[in-house]
């Protein structure tokens, strides 16, 4: 299968499996999405969804969050990985939103990336899922599958993002980001598939003899 044939097949298969992929993090607006995505670093979405109800019951907007002490935020998110750093970031970014953005999450990639605790991936998710801009947020799971499917040989998520954006139509990026994540969890996990097990891997590479050794980001 040529690369463009793989691209067309993968796009069709994922659209068939996940025609309207939901955002896996519970949220009600751009601010709660921003906080949930920030919390998801080094933490499962399931854990984040267990943590955020108590956090958002206490503060679900930057004004209320800025009133909380960092230690109180920490106590509410402690079970998430990197919670000490995240609690400080949540407090600081809430103050910045109030001081510099009138309490609103900015609809701007650069402004988002300047917020504490918000990297390119988090900003991309917010721009896509909160504001509807086509972005392709690449995490370690998407990086892994892109290599298994022969879509990128990038040594890091930055190069993988560039490769995937070049291969797939712009209007597919936001959904495709979620579709690949869901497929990776369900069929092509790190341990459950080595590039020779799941349907997409075996269809794209029916004669593959050896496991794919991923280049870690």
Instruction: Give the contacts of 40 (CB within 8 A, at least 6 positions apart).
Output: 25, 48
Tokens of 122: 């988090």
Instruction: Give the contacts of 210 (CB within 8 A, at least 6 positions apart).
Output: none
DSSP class of 22:
P
User: Which is catalytic among the residues 102, 108, 139, 162?
Assistant: 139
Q: Known catalytic residue: 139?
A: yes
User: Which is catalytic among the residues 29, 64, 99, 121?
Assistant: 121
C-alpha–C-alpha distance, residues 164 and 146, integer Å: 8
Do the Cβ atoms of 92 and 98 come closer than 8 Å?
no
Q: How many CA atoms lie within 13 A of 80 on its CB side?
A: 30
C-alpha–C-alpha distance, residues 107 and 156, integer Å: 26
The residues that are catalytic are 121, 139
């Amino acid at each position: 299968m040529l690369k463009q044939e793989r691209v067309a097949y993968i796009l069709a298969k994922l659209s068939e499996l996940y025609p309207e992929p939901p955002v896996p993090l519970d949220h009600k607006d751009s601010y709660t999405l921003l906080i949930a995505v920030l919390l998801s670093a080094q933490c499962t979405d399931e854990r984040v969804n267990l943590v955020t109800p108590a956090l958002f019951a206490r503060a679900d907007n930057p004004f209320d969050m800025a009133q909380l002490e960092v230690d109180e935020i920490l106590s509410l998110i402690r079970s998430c990985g990197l919670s000490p750093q995240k609690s400080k970031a949540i407090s600081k970014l809430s103050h910045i939103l109030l001081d510099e953005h009138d309490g609103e999450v900015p609809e701007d990639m650069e402004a988002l990336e300047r917020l504490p605790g918000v990297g390119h991936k988090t900003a991309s998710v917010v721009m896509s899922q909160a504001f509807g801009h086509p972005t392709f947020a690449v995490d370690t799971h998407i990086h892994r599958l892109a290599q298994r499917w022969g879509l990128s040989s990038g040594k890091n998520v930055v190069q993988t993002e560039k490769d995937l954006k070049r291969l797939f139509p712009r209007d597919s990026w936001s959904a495709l980001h979620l579709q690949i994540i869901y497929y990776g969890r369900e069929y092509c996990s790190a341990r459950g598939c080595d590039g020779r097990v799941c349907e997409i891997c075996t269809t794209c590479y029916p004669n593959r003899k050896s496991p794919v050794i991923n280049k870690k980001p």
